[in-house]
């Protein structure tokens, strides 16, 4: 049975109408212009932080195609989304599959989570030629979503190290963390790596050896390193704390807000501020300080204050 796609032709071929970029910077609707001011403030914060840090680090890095593998491209609506794991990225990838699927999908929540993470289901910016990349960076609306850095970190830890099904993470990272951080580890712990404590995880992140060995896994890599906000000018910075409003604003700008809403669901297992506070209680003030340094740019750039629970000297 063929179900009629509610998007009809609109969703794929919006040529002739205004692009999201035009709608953002010159809104035709009053309701959009108030929100535009908020996003201008967020953009300015990023610009100011980049300016302040580039003064201290004289060397400006040139982006390579490998740096662009988190930027998902929607040709039809002229948008680019940089996904950050643990910041609603599964749902945003689902939405991007609806937007770019040319009618193949109509309800984001009908797309299984694992399918949203199959790389061939979405096109990323690193798959284009240099001139094509530059054209898209200049003309498409670019957005990302951020979250309080330590809340995101605890969320990643809970998901990857406390769930029994994540055996690939336990094998790849857990065994390494146990070997390096745990004195008198049992043979079983060294083999399985499935009982990593949060304190051990933090010690692993701040260990200079870790930084030299390989880049952080994307689930705990900084937003700064995943999305390169000092090299790529993001038009919109959505926040996890205002996920629904920011997401639906983006869909409005794309001209699909009437028939596509960002999926909402209350997750009881969600990592909260209170939970994060608890996780940090057993972390020494010295380790807290070093960890803050690792994520400091994310705190400053996206305007998150130093958490009150930190024992920073």
Residues 40 and 182 in one domain: no
pLDDT beyond 80 at 2: no
Report how many domains make up the chain: 2
In a domain, 304, yes or no: no
Q: Which residue has the higher pLDDT, 59 or 228?
A: 228
Residues 279 and 144 in one domain: no
Banded model confidence at residue 246, pLDDT cuts 50, 70, 90: very high
CA proximity to 153, closest of 107, 241, 218: 218
Range of the domain at 275: 150-219+271-296
Residues 211 and 279 in one domain: yes
Cα distance between residue 57 and residue 49, in whole Å: 12
Residues 239 and 97 in one domain: yes
Q: How many residues does the chain have?
A: 313
Residue 289 makes CB contacts below 8 A (sequence gap 6+) with 312, 313
Please answer whether residues 123 and 73 qualify as being in contact, where contact means their C-beta atoms are separated by less than 8 angstroms: yes
Per-residue pLDDT tens for 255-310? 999 989 999 876 677 888 999 999 999 999 999 999 999 999 999 999 999 999 99
Q: What is the mean pLDDT of the chain?
A: 90
- Please indicate, yes or no, whether the overall pTM of this predicted structure exceeds 0.85: yes
Per-residue pLDDT tens for 138-166? 999 999 999 999 999 999 999 999 999 99
In a domain, 2, yes or no: no
Residues 238 and 209 in one domain: no
Tokens of 243: 């996920």
Residues 73 and 98 in one domain: yes
């Amino acid at each position: 049975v063929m179900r009629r796609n509610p998007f009809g032709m609109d969703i794929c071929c919006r040529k002739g109408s205004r692009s999201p970029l035009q709608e953002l910077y010159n809104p035709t609707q009053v309701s959009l212009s108030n929100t535009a001011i908020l996003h201008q403030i967020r953009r300015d914060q990023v610009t100011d932080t980049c300016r302040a840090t580039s003064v201290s680090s004289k060397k400006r890095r040139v982006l390579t195609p490998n740096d662009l593998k988190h930027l998902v491209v929607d040709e039809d609506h002229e948008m680019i989304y940089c996904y950050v794991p643990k910041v609603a990225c599964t749902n945003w990838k689902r939405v991007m599959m609806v937007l770019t699927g040319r009618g193949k999908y109509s309800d984001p929540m009908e797309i299984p989570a694992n399918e949203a993470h199959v790389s061939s289901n979405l096109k990323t910016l690193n798959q284009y030629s240099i001139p094509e990349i530059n054209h898209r960076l200049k003309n498409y609306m670019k957005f990302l979503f951020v979250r309080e850095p330590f809340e995101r970190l605890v969320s990643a830890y809970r998901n990857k190290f406390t769930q029994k099904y994540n055996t690939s993470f336990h094998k790849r990272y857990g065994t390494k963390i146990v070997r390096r951080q745990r004195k008198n580890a049992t043979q079983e712990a060294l083999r399985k790596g499935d009982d990593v404590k949060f304190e051990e995880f933090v010690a692993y992140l701040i260990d200079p050896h870790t930084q030299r060995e390989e880049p952080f896994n994307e689930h705990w890599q900084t937003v700064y390193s995943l999305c390169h906000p000092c090299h790529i000018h993001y038009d919109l910075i959505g926040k996890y704390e205002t996920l629904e409003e920011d997401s639906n604003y983006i869909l409005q700008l794309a001209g699909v807000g009437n028939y596509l809403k960002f999926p909402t669901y209350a997750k009881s297992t969600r990592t909260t501020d209170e939970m994060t506070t608890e996780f940090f209680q057993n972390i020494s003030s010295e380790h807290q300080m070093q960890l803050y340094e690792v994520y400091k740019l994310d705190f400053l750039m996206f305007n998150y204050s130093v958490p009150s629970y930190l024992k920073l000297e």
